[in-house]
Structure 1
Amino acid sequence: MGANWVPKDQALDPGSATILPGGRAPHGPHEAVLNKSAAKRADLKVGSQTKVVVSTGDAKPFDVTIVGLVDMAGDTSGYTEMDFDTATAKRLFTDGSHASMVQLGAVKGVSADTLKQRINKEFPGYKVQTGAEVRKENKDAINSFLQIFNYILLAFAAIGLIVGTFIIYNTFSMIVAQRVRELALLRAIGAGRGQVMRSVMLEAIVVGLIGSIIGLAVGTGLAAGLQALLSSTGTGLPSGSLVVGAGPIIACILVGVVVTTVSALAPARRASRVAPVEAMRESQTDGASSLRVRTLIAAVLAVLAVVALAIGGSGKGGGAAGMVGLGAILTIIAVVCGAPALARPVVGALGLVLAKPFGKLGQLARTNAIRNPRRTAATAFALTLGLMLVAIIGTLGASFKATINDAVNSQVRAPIIVSGTSGRGALPPAVSAAIKKVDGVDQVVSIHAVSATVNGKDISGNAPSGDLTRAASITMVEGVAKLPPNGLLVSDKYAKTHHWTVGQTLTFKSKFGQSAQVNVVGIYKSSALMDPWQLGNGAFETLTPPSLRADFVDLVLVKNGADTAAVQQRVEDATGSYLTVKVQTKEQFANSSAQQINQMLVVLYGMLGLALVIAVLGIINTLALSVVERKREIGMLRAVGMLRKQVRRTIYLESVLISIFGALLGMVLGVVIGWCLVRTFREWLTGIQPVVPWGTVLFTLVAAGVCGVLAALWPAIRAARTKPLEAIADL
């Protein structure tokens, strides 16, 4: 951001920005002050020289000397503000007669509200606010952004809690199963069902409390590390000290205890129903009848989910996306209820394929994996949920990237594209002027971003300079494609929404007071790159002052017979002094745009990684408890000659089968939901079609198998160390 430096004696709020000791205010066109966080990132100090590029107007890159570092109240980790003296700032950032904001101070005895009323009366149509209103507006804007950020974090936290719930449920189920004889003996000597249930619930509360305290400590440490990481990468988030209030502490402990208690409720009820006669048995088993009701419920929910996904996937827009979301929720609930019924056939089929090469060991692993379908499903579901979200995000990302690639390759005819290095930065008009002088360049079509008001509504679109039909492919629906200086081409979707027709004359007004009469000369087929409308260059110049004109992108056409690679190199040399310029072929431009999507996906995958880590820990936990439960069985196998490495291999195979079952279920459901969700985006992104991320699917399935082996390492080693005689004697 660039602005003018306001001396302290003229500032309405002198404490908002202060030049640190050792610096001074800027004077002349080659001096500037810089906020301290930006100076720290760029390794600049008082006396340092740097180059400045202004994206608007005809100003060329120029050198400035940093004469002061500024401590700003709103300084954040990614914020950059360079201030010049008033004359320089006026030349660089304004049209010479307009300002973006004017600050006024009231004379003694006149309140801010009174002054506001007087200004509104004298200058109607302008936005006039008191200082308190401005501060509240800025605070609300920041809080709104942070609120969205909080919602995202809470969503991923909820995913982690759901995954953790199933792990806790699995753990207490196995603990209760292993203590059947103990609980039955308690019942035999007079303990009531309520007492047994309360003992298990009390145990859950204690575990939840201890886990919450540990989680709070670990979470605080992770928050401090995350804050340091975000500050170092320049995200724009506040870089103040870490604040841990009473609210988060109470919420952490309360949520941890409640989740643990709720997760242990079903196992506790099962424990309270243990009859004294059960003391004669080893453990409880899941009866087939217990799965019938939940399987029936799962079937009904699955049908409803399919209907919701079908309706949502056939539509477009927010309503359709909401229907897909409903279908996703129904799908998750259906999986929770029906996964045990799927576990036996699916894991059994996987076992026939994956475990068969291992002979009897594979057969034993397959039997162990499907022995308790309820436990297998609960263990796998933690992985299913996380990978289902990975598949949804992967499908969205692959579809967006494919749409961009298709749009650039099919709609852009120019072989060379010049854009800002950040992918969204503007280019000064001097860049296109320099490109036009390059040997081998036939024509440069510059695309400008333009905003205006039409019929009282603010709209935004593009304004090309040059023959757009040579640089881009336009499919006309009505009218002509050639764009006159005061003409307008509009997409069919936008024209239908705003009731614009060929031959209609519209009045475009700018925020600077200029207006232009624009004629609609053609309507073209909506496309991802050409939406929503294209304004003639003459109207653009009327609406936009010269000092504020900038190019969004420059499309470079090459002369017949010229070597594109050589021309590209010459264009790079000609624009080298403009530090924010990136020269690419259209294939490179498409890949660069896709890379930005990849960066966003990495962040989402990273946050989902926490849920996957919890899921893997759940597999480790379940297998470890399963080894304890099967101690006598493993001892018998060791007694009849099974080697330690064979025991370990059996546990590995069992873990791999459970992991791949969860991953396969999650990937299939995630791709289906993602496919339907992508189709709803046709309302906002023309030409988007669902694309299955086959690479992600295959990689995930292989990774699930690897995670299964890693998760089984400790339980397998523990099982292999089982001493046969001790295990057999442990009655």
Structure 2
Amino acid sequence: MLRTIIAGLKARTARLVLSSVAIALGVAFVTGTLVLGDAMNASLRDEFAKSARNVDVSVTVSGEPSSAEEVRGITPETLARIRQAPGVAGADPRDSNTVPLVAANGKAKTAWAVSLASNEKLREFDLVDGRYPAGDDEIAVDQRTATTAKLTIGQPVVLLGKGDVRHTYTLVGTYQQGTNPLSLSGFDHVGLTPEAFQALEPERPPYQVVATAAPGFTQQQVADNVRQAIGGQGYRIQTGDELTKETLERVESQAGEFTTVLLAFAIIALVVAAMVIYNTFTILVAQRTRELALMRCVGASRGQVFRGVLAEALVMGLTASVIGLFGGIGVSALLQRVIFSFDGGEGTVQLPVTVTTVLAAFAVGTLITVLAAVLPARKATRVAPVAALRSQPDSGEEVSRTGVLRVLTAVLFAVVGVGAVVFGMNLEDEDAAMFISGAGTMALLAAVLVLGPLLVGPVNRVLGAVPRALLGVPAKLASANAGRNPKRTAATTAALMIGVTIVSLVTVVANSAKETANAEIDQRMPADYTVTSAVYDRPLPKELADELAAVPEVARVAPTTVIYGERGYFTGVPQDAIGTLFRPTATSGSLADLREGTIAVNAEYAKREGVSVGSTVTLKEGGSNESQQLKVVAVVEGQRLSDGIMTAETAQRFPRAAEGYDSILVKLKDSATNGRAAVEKVTDPSPLALVDSAAETKEQLNKQLNQVLGFIWALIGLAVVIALFGIANTLTLSVLERTRESALLRALGLTKGQLRLMLVVESVLMALMGAAIGLLLGIGFGWVITEALSNDTLSVDLVVPFGQIGVMLAGAVVAAVVAAALPARRAARTSVVAGMAEA
């Protein structure tokens, strides 16, 4: 029997290799994801560990002081005591804060400034070029900042300190920032001496001090000495080993979240690949009915036949696993390059291949292939020996024998799916509603998959009507072939249907969110321009609003202030701007009653806090000990700027309003011809002021959503590619199966071109079946998700992007034509005489 299996593998090598491509792609995705996760983990561990290298003792503000007086930071006196503690060879403050960096165009942008240790051993970063700052008028920047800001050593760099005071430094060096929380934030990064950093905000003490031990002292000894020197109250004192362990624990959780997202897409690809493999083995077993029956006739048992088919699957799985393992390494390298491109190209590709990854590749590839072959292998054992004496029957009648069971199973899935969707859409929590409704849509997808063989006939008749009318006999034969074996056609198209369903679902939801966000921007930004601060924690100067109001082209301005309370944040707006430049919609109460000492809250905040019109809200700004009692006069919706609105006069009660404005709404006169230039003439002298319009805001938002959508399309695209391989594989095996039939058609007058056209149309029909059903399901599921995301405050309208859907359908047709090219060529090249002689 072993020799028979080996001989069969040699005879069917080409078929098995073609079939293994699908599973190899799925394994490559899984392997690439695991290698990428390990690479990110290793990179993060290396880079995050730099913050703890050579650190023997760390002292930080605990946030839970044991003394009555809260510790706000580490004072110079405390730093001096740490440095004088026995066993401390050196100690430096470590701190970071956002600071406005003035770019070459004169506008500020947010940057992270860090305090660079004076002790070389305690520096977190690796010097790349030049040197570290030695004086208070010198600065260093990380490589990415130097590249994006086009800075070179020797150039001046300007930062804005407290009160927007300009501090000018000379750039003396660049360093490798690597991967850490600050680099992941995407901000520019600059390093200063401790004294220069402190000068930016003199009243703000550092939050941490790190120290290195002198020779002969252990970390624990130095930590105990430091604790004794400063008392330990209000401080958290850690050894270097404890700090490293805590840092690496954070790393593993961050890397794991990204890997989990990629694995979800890898699982989808594997499910599709498993369906392709199942279909492939089903066809192979059907084609070998006489061969298997003959084996039974010469003495092979059912168990031997079963094991023989599984042995072929095992060989295919092992082959696919090897290919997928090496392909996955390449996928990981490519993904890392893509990730690095988002960060200015900084980073080194790492390809750690662990034992776990290798075992996972072989386990996934082999197990899925073998499991997918179990049912076809069982079917092979049921082949009666007498089948060797007759022609192979067509299996088109199998659907009628199993129709009741299929319908009952589909009904069960449908009931569960509809129930989950209805329950989820009635939930108030958006996350829970989307999760449960999404699970319901997957149950409905399963119901459609189960009903697949019953849907093939009607869908095939509808989709085949146009080709039959236009292309004549070849199209009629193709339509008949596509519907001849509904189970096979359904299994072939199901893989593509899953991929297209998910792609269209994500596309519909993303476009719906995009259009809803654009409508929100239009609704809440009736102003022509909005002047905002380039740095989120630096308000615009109040005199800027007066200067803009004096511009002849400007009809009116409305400065706004955001007040951050302990349980929400609220926007202060001039009373005369409400309803004109600021347009919330009142669902209860009246905005006409919004005066000094009152507040209007949005519906979501009202529900969360249990307040309504007539209630009193207590607001205490963060960091302030004073609170204000404000009466709720309206509940509003249609604005997502904050948890509510108040008049500018009410906002003046809070300290933040005295600092400046968060934004200034500008409405031009109807007669203004060059209003933007007039506005920019006023804002250009201020490094913080950025001029934005609703169109620009929408363009930026759409760009971000399109990037996310493109990334998801690329990930799901692998499942679609695998499904198309399945169509090509099915056609190839079908051509072999129908060799005598094709020869007979040629003998009856069908030309080679017509035979090729027949197979191309058959491939296109199968692709359109999967794509059309997938698009209908994706659009329907998209409606479910958008309804689940809608709430009292925001209604997400369903938007169907017909252009993108047309591109998907066209892509499916083109791919189907390509998939049919080789099978059609093979069928046309087979001679009529040789085909008629085929057993």
* Smaller-chain TM-score bracket: 0.7 to 0.9
Aligned partners of 1:651 and 1:632: how far apart in 2? 15
Distance 1:323 1:592 in 2: 31
The correspondence for 1:644, drawn from 743, 752, 755, is 752
Which residue in 1 is equivalent to 2:701? Answer: 593
Q: How far did 1:220 drift?
A: 0.4
Decide whether aligned partners of structure 1 residues 244 and 426 sit closer, same or farther in structure 2, where only a CA change above 3 A counts. farther
Structure 1 partner of 2:45: none
Q: Does 1:472 align with 2:582?
A: yes
Q: 1:110 & 1:399 partners in 2: Cα distance?
A: 61
Structure 1: distance between partners of 2:644 and 2:651: 13
Which residue identity does 2:665 align to in structure 1?
Answer: L
Residue 131 of structure 1, CA deviation: 6.1
The separation in 2 between residues aligned to 1:658 and 1:257, in whole angstroms, is: 28
- CA–CA separation in structure 1 for the residues paired with 2:287 and 2:405: 26
Verify: 1:495 aligned to 2:609, yes or no: no
Measured after TM superposition, the shift of residue 14 of structure 1 is 0.6
1:416 paired with 2:522, answer: no
Using the TM superposition, give the Cα deviation of residue 598 of structure 1 relative to its aligned residue in structure 2, in angstroms: 1.9
Asked whether the equivalents of residues 433 and 789 of structure 2 are also in contact (C-alpha less than 8 Å), the reply is: no
1:98 and 2:208 are equivalent in the alignment:
no
Give the aligned partner of residue 673 of structure 1.
Answer: 781
1:660-707 superposed Cα distances (whole Å, 9 cap, x missing partner): 111111111111112111111124962223333333333323332222
Which stretch shows the higher mean deviation, 433-442 or 373-382?
Answer: 433-442
Query: Is the alpha carbon distance of 1:480 and 1:324 closer, same or farther for their aligned partners in structure 2, counting shifts above 3 Å?
Result: closer
Query: Distance in 2 between the 1:246 and 1:684 partners?
Result: 51
Between 183-192 and 342-351, report the one with greater CA deviation: 342-351
The answer as to 2:404 corresponding to 1:298 is: no
Match of 2:94 in 1: none
1:549 shift after superposition: 6.8
1:34 aligns with 2:145: no
Q: 1:188 to 1:338 in 2, by over 3 A?
A: same
* CA distance in 1 between partners of 2:228 and 2:371 (Å): 58
Letter in 2 for 1:278: A
Judged with a 3 Å threshold, the aligned counterparts in structure 2 of structure 1 residues 712 and 492 are, in CA distance, closer, same or farther, namely same
Distance 1:577 1:619 in 2: 63
Shift of 1:442: 4.1
| 1:123-169 C-alpha deviation (Å, 9 max, x unpaired) | 4xx88877666655544444333222112101100110011011101
Seen in structure 2, the aligned counterparts of structure 1 residues 646 and 73 have a Cα distance that, compared at 3 Å, is closer
* Aligned 8 A contact 1:568 1:584 in 2: no
CA shift, 1:213, in A, is 0.9
Contact 1:33 1:67 in 2 (8 A): yes
Task: Work out the CA distance in 2 between the residues paired with 1:547 and 1:227.
Answer: 47
2:421 is the counterpart of 1:309: yes
Distance (whole Å) between structure 1 residues aligned to residue 573 and residue 206 of structure 2: 26
Following superposition of structure 1 onto structure 2, how do residues 84-483 of structure 1 map, counting pairs within 5 Å? 84-86=192-194, 88-90=196-198, 92=200, 94=201, 96-99=202-205, 101-103=207-209, 112=223, 122-123=233-234, 135-136=244-245, 138-234=247-343, 239=348, 241-286=350-395, 287=398, 288-317=400-429, 318-418=431-531, 429-430=540-541, 432=544, 435=548, 438-453=551-566, 458-464=567-573, 468-469=577-578, 470-476=580-586, 477-478=588-589, 480=591
CA 1:40–1:105 in 2, change beyond 3 Å: closer, same or farther? same
Task: Give, in whole Å, the separation in 1 of the partners of 2:689 and 2:823.
Answer: 56
Judge which range, 597-606 or 573-582, deviates more.
Answer: 573-582
Distance 2:393 2:686 in 1: 74
Q: Who is 1:66 aligned against?
A: 171
Q: 1:2, CA displacement in angstroms?
A: 2.4
User: CA–CA distance in 2 between the matches of 1:48 and 1:294?
Assistant: 74
Q: Which amino acid aligns with 2:453?
A: P
Aligned to 1:8: 118
> 368-377 or 352-361, which moves further after superposition?
352-361
Q: Find out whether 1:527 has 2:638 as its counterpart.
A: yes
Distance in 1, Cα, partners of 2:737 & 2:166 = 73
The counterpart of 2:618, out of the listed 492, 499, 506, is 506
Task: Identify if the C-alpha distance between structure 1 residues 535 and 370 changes in structure 2 by more than 3 Å, giving closer, same or farther.
Answer: same
Q: Larger deviation: 166-175 or 239-248?
A: 239-248
In 2, distance between residues paired with 1:289 and 1:384?
A: 25
Which SS does the other structure have where 1:97 is aligned? coil
In 1: Cα distance, 2:245 partner to 2:645 partner = 37
SS at match of 1:695: helix
- Distance in 2 (CA, whole Å) between partners of 1:150 and 1:612 is 21
2:122 aligned counterpart, secondary structure: coil
Matched position secondary structure for 1:510: coil
User: Mapping of 1:672-691 within 5 angstroms?
Assistant: 672-683=780-791, 686-691=794-799
1:259-295 Cα distance to aligned partner (Å, 9 max, x none): 0011111111111111111113343532231344223
Distance in 1 of aligned mates of 2:198 and 2:563:
21
State the alpha-carbon separation in 2 of the partners of residues 683 and 117 from structure 1: 56
1:471 alignment partner AA:
L
Partner Cα separation in structure 2 for residue 237 and residue 251 of structure 1: 30
8 Å contact 2:337–2:349 — kept in the other structure? no
Single out whichever of 582-591 and 480-489 deviates more from structure 2.
480-489
Structure 1 residue aligned with 2:677: 569
Q: CA deviation at 1:486?
A: 6.5
Given residue 276 of structure 2, which amino acid in structure 1 is its aligned partner? I
Q: Given the superposition, is the C-alpha separation of residues 323 and 225 from structure 1 closer, same or farther in structure 2, using an over 3 Å criterion?
A: closer
Change over 3 Å in CA distance of 1:190–1:664 after alignment to 2: same
How far off its partner does 1:420 sit? Answer: 7.3
Instruction: Give how far 1:81 is off.
Output: 1.4
Return 76-85 or 623-632, whichever deviates more: 76-85
Instruction: Give the corresponding residue for 2:818.
Output: 710
Contact 2:129/2:175 (<8 A) preserved = no
Instruction: Provide the C-alpha distance between the structure 1 equivalents of 2:336 and 2:458, rounded to a whole number of angstroms.
Output: 47
1:51 is displaced (CA, Å) by 6.1
Confirm or deny: 8 A CA contact 2:524 2:639 kept in the other structure.
no
**Contact 1:58-1:547 within 8 A present in 2 as well:** no
SS in 1 for 2:172: strand
Instruction: Provide the residue aligned with 1:80 in structure 2.
Output: 188
Aligned length: 712
Matches of 1:429 and 1:660 in 2, distance apart?
A: 57
User: Which runs of no fewer than 5 residues in structure 2 stay unpaired?
Assistant: 1-110
Determine helix, strand or coil for the equivalent of 2:583.
Answer: coil
TM-score (norm 1): 0.87
Whether the 8 Å CA contact 1:480–1:521 is kept in 2: the answer is no
Whether the 8 Å contact between 1:32 and 1:64 is mirrored in structure 2 is yes
Greater Cα shift, 305-314 or 604-613: 305-314
Residue 174 of structure 2 aligns with an amino acid whose one-letter code is L
Q: Give the whole-Å Cα distance in 2 for the aligned partners of 1:372 and 1:113.
A: 79
Rounded Cα–Cα distance in structure 2 between residues aligned with 1:426 and 1:279: 82
1:64 to partner: Cα distance:
4.8
Secondary structure at 1:556 match in 2 = strand
Report the Cα distance in structure 1 between the residues aligned to 2:427 and 2:789, rounded to whole angstroms: 9
Gap change, CA 1:576 and 1:382, over 3 Å in 2: farther
CA distance, structure 2, for counterparts of residue 250 and residue 235 of structure 1: 35
- The whole-number CA distance in structure 1 between the counterparts of 2:129 and 2:346 is 26
1:693 maps to 801
**C-alpha spacing 1:521/1:231, structure 2 compared with 1 (3 Å):** same
- The alpha-carbon distance between structure 1 residues 82 and 464, as it changes in their structure 2 partners (threshold 3 A), is farther
Alignment of 1:528-543 (within 5 A): 528-534=639-645
SS of 1:471's partner is: coil
